[in-house]
Structure 1
Amino acid sequence: MTGVWALLGALAVAGAIGVLLKVREGRISRRDDSSTADLPAPVRELLAPGVTLVQLSTTFCAPCRHAKVVLRDLADRTEGLTHAELDITNLPDVAARLGVMRTPTTLALTADGTEVLRVGGVPKRDALLAALRPHLVPPSGG
């Protein structure tokens, strides 16, 4: 009977972990206070005018491919927004310096390297666009 209780306990713990991971998927964290001094060179090289969505991926990451589709489409449809992908499979020092614990992780960086937000997992398009709007320069009317 003890084995049954141990099994039920393990299933409950696994279920709770699954729910926690599902809730955190695509969550946006605001980072307006980040320092640009510690931005690794491979990331700095990707920056473009406006806001750059730097997607940190690894070679065998299936969710990374889905995130790439979402981010590329969003950047293609939004003025002042660029998407760039960096494979960090062989760059563990970059991941460590950025505090990346999972892939995909997306950093929204201004042209000067200021991190304005980050997303762990596959981003939700509408929520990401809403969070980015204050950082995007509106098109100049003529």
Structure 2
Amino acid sequence: MTGAWALLGAVAVVAVIALVLRARDGRVRVAERAEARVSLPGPVRDLLDAGTPVTLVQLSTAFCANCRQTRVVLEDLARRVEGVRHVELDVTDLPEVAADLGVLRAPTTLALTPSGVELVRVGGVPKPDALIAALRPHLPGPIG
């Protein structure tokens, strides 16, 4: 009987963890302080464009199941919203880049200004409406 209670307890713990992870997936976190990173990794800095107000940098890995879905969401958003550009960086062979940015999962999306200021961070597949709402103050015109 003790084994059954242990099994039931383990299932309950796993269920709670799954619910917490699901709730956090795709959540848009607005940066607390808008300041440029002192040492933005070179591969990320090279992706920024001085003429684009917001660059969505998608950090992916070769074995990421949700990266394709994230790519579709971000490419669509960049196509529809003026002032937004999407780029993808595969960090499979660049673990130091992920570590420098504090990225613990793939996909992670960073919204960066041309000077490297992190505006928004999303772990998992972004929710388009929440991402647009968070980026709205940093975009040049109305969002259609």
Q: Are 1:54 and 2:57 counterparts?
A: yes
* Structure 2 match to 1:137: 140
CA distance in 1, matches of 2:3, 2:137: 55
* Structure 2 match to 1:17: 17
Select the residue among 103, 110, 113 that pairs with 1:110. Answer: 113
Q: CA deviation at 1:31?
A: 1.0
RMSD: 1.1
Q: Secondary structure at the match of 1:82?
A: strand
Unpaired stretches in structure 2, ≥5 consecutive residues:
none
Alignment of 1:65-76 (within 5 A): 65-76=68-79
Q: Are 1:37 and 2:38 counterparts?
A: yes
The runs of at least 4 consecutive aligned structure 1 residues that moved more than 2 Å come to: none
CA distance in 2, matches of 1:111, 1:73: 21
Q: CA deviation at 1:36?
A: 2.3
CA distance in 1, matches of 2:36, 2:125: 25
Q: CA deviation at 1:37?
A: 1.5
Contact 1:46 1:84 in 2 (8 A): yes
Contact 1:104 1:121 in 2 (8 A): yes
Contact 1:26 1:122 in 2 (8 A): yes
The normalised TM-score by structure 2 is 0.93
Q: CA deviation at 1:67?
A: 0.3
- Cα 1:39–1:9, aligned 2, differ >3 Å: closer, same or farther? same
Q: Secondary structure at the match of 1:62?
A: coil
Q: CA deviation at 1:138?
A: 2.1
CA distance in 2, matches of 1:111, 1:94: 18
Unpaired stretches in structure 1, ≥5 consecutive residues:
none
- Percent same amino acid among aligned pairs? 62
